[in-house]
Amino acid sequence: MTTSDKKIPHFLFSSFPAWGHARALCNLAARIVKDNENAIVTVLLAPNLLNSAKAEVAAELRDEAPESVVRRLRILSSFHSESQLPVELFEQHVGAYASATYPALLQGKALTCGMTGTTFDAVPAPNVVVIDFIAHPLMQVTRSITGTSIPIISWITGHVSSVLRVMGPERLGGLGDLGAKIEAEAARLGVTAKEIGDSLVNTANGTVIKVPGLVELYDWELFPQKYSTVSYMTYFNHISIDYRGIKEADAAFVTSAYAFEEASMEGLRSWSSEWNQEAYIIGPLLPSGYGILEDGDRGSKETREFLDKSLVECGENSVIFMSFGTVYWPSSQGYVEEAIDAFIEKKTPFIICYASYLAVLSDEIIQKIQSSGIGLVSKWAPQQYILNHPATGWFISHCGHNSIMESLGSGTPVLCWPFHADQPFGAAHISEDLKVGIELVEVRTGDTGLKPLKRNGRQARGTRDAFGIEIRQVIDDSRGEKGREIRKNAGEMKAKFASTWTDGGISKKEFQTFLAKHNFL
């Protein structure tokens, strides 16, 4: 290929208004403009994600990028809203994208951010569109306007083992085309698809799930808690939409890592080949130098001072960090209180972040934490900074994919407390297949949560006392030989993650293969 054959890439990125689906996307956007002096990236997000997106880009660029780089990365929202409700925001996002933003981009017009009022210069039209696989309506709009003239890449986030289960072919342990199954069953019974609901998938009858790369599970293990912030019916009704979000794309970017779930990745590639699609494995997408270079505290002086103090007084790897992300929180405050009591009793310094809108901590509990002298509690915490601080030893997590990539990328082992969606898959894989963490069994609640696990026969008793015994034993194990072995494994995973985007690294090579195919190299 001659130099004149090369195209100037203009990537258009967009996602559903959930930070877990947008964080890695922002990291890749920053890498593209940093590594290609001509590339342009437009990131269209709902207003609730703008500040987090800018912070993630800053973490990748590390305030070292010249203005010529920064101005080629345009992060904006096409409308104004103070709402924090993802579904409401997504409907507005799709409407604005269809009626104004995408047509304006195609015509090379300037864009103005609906939230900040910032105007971005006119640039050539995008020649690649990357869309979150759960944002299928955006894909439909894009196809209706530009057809197949501009390639659409699906953005696949989450644990790949989970993607295979809920959308993959049956030969790989998946549910197949759920939408088609629901419609067929509805026709057979003479009812509507809505009446069928999630009856085809929300089962807890002891069926064994066998997905490449994942320890075998009973189907009831996918519902470890007695409630969900998203009803199971709502969740599974979306699976048919997500399925199309993958199938109807021209290719896929996968944000997980080979080192984390290689066998599942090979299963995904096999599935993609059935549709003549390429799946590019480009994760983990963490800030360059993550786990090696020092991270900033993102303005949280309180967190930095607490960790520095804990390092001096209690030593390396002494702090337990507990955070369940921006959505999930235990339905029983008693279990959280029991963990706090255990930390204080065991003289284990701890940080609790309760960012979820469902999170409730009583004034009494907050006072107990503050007066303990070894605890810090906050509605927001600089997670990447905490995980990479030498004082941090363990991460109690819901096992969302971003959190797991950040934790293992720092070499911090995980104490798994899963709730929903892909989290039970991640928890099982972390504790059993990779042995880079410990799954907390006694945190399981409800009819399905109290059933036995396939992998070891353990069965939660469903009481605070039982959890109290477990968490204290886990703290002891974390300080002993078992903890040292798990930490060693997590450290090895950190080293593997660190090499993926270096020159010759597997994820960088995959992305360069994509660029070369589209004449961007």
pLDDT digits (tens, 9 = 90+) for 281-309: 999 999 999 988 777 887 899 999 999 99
Query: Domain check: are 472 and 376 in the same one?
Result: yes
Query: Domain check: are 101 and 168 in the same one?
Result: no
Distance CA 373, CA 350 (A): 10
Report pLDDT digits (tens) over 424-446. Answer: 999 999 999 999 999 999 999 99
Angle (CA) 250-255-257 rounded to 5° is: 120
Residue 189: pLDDT over 70:
yes
Query: Domain check: are 412 and 514 in the same one?
Result: no
Across 487-513, average pLDDT:
97
Domains in the chain, number: 3
Query: Domain check: are 129 and 169 in the same one?
Result: no
Query: Domain check: are 195 and 305 in the same one?
Result: no
284 found inside a domain:
yes
Query: Domain check: are 269 and 398 in the same one?
Result: no
Query: Domain check: are 267 and 304 in the same one?
Result: no
Domain holding 446: CATH number? 3.40.50.2000
Across 81-109, average pLDDT:
95
Query: Domain check: are 154 and 177 in the same one?
Result: no
Closest CA to 246 of 147, 165, 136, 171: 136
476 found inside a domain:
yes
Residue 3: pLDDT over 70:
no
Report pLDDT for 293: 79
Lowest-confidence segment of 48-62, 169-183, 446-460 by average pLDDT: 169-183
209 found inside a domain:
yes
Query: Domain check: are 31 and 116 in the same one?
Result: yes
Q: What is the mean pLDDT of the chain?
A: 92
- Within 10 angstroms of residue 39's Cβ, the number of other Cβ atoms is 20
Query: Domain check: are 326 and 217 in the same one?
Result: no
Report pLDDT digits (tens) over 221-273. Answer: 999 998 644 444 344 456 667 888 999 999 999 999 999 999 999 999 999 99
Across 469-473, average pLDDT:
98
Residue 157: pLDDT over 70:
yes
Query: Domain check: are 369 and 471 in the same one?
Result: yes
Distance CA 87, CA 61 (A): 31
> In which domain, by residue range, is 176 found?
161-239
What amino acid occupies position 247? Answer: K
Give the confidence band of 327 by pLDDT, cuts at 50, 70, 90.
confident
Give the torsion sign (CA, 232, 238, 240, 246): negative
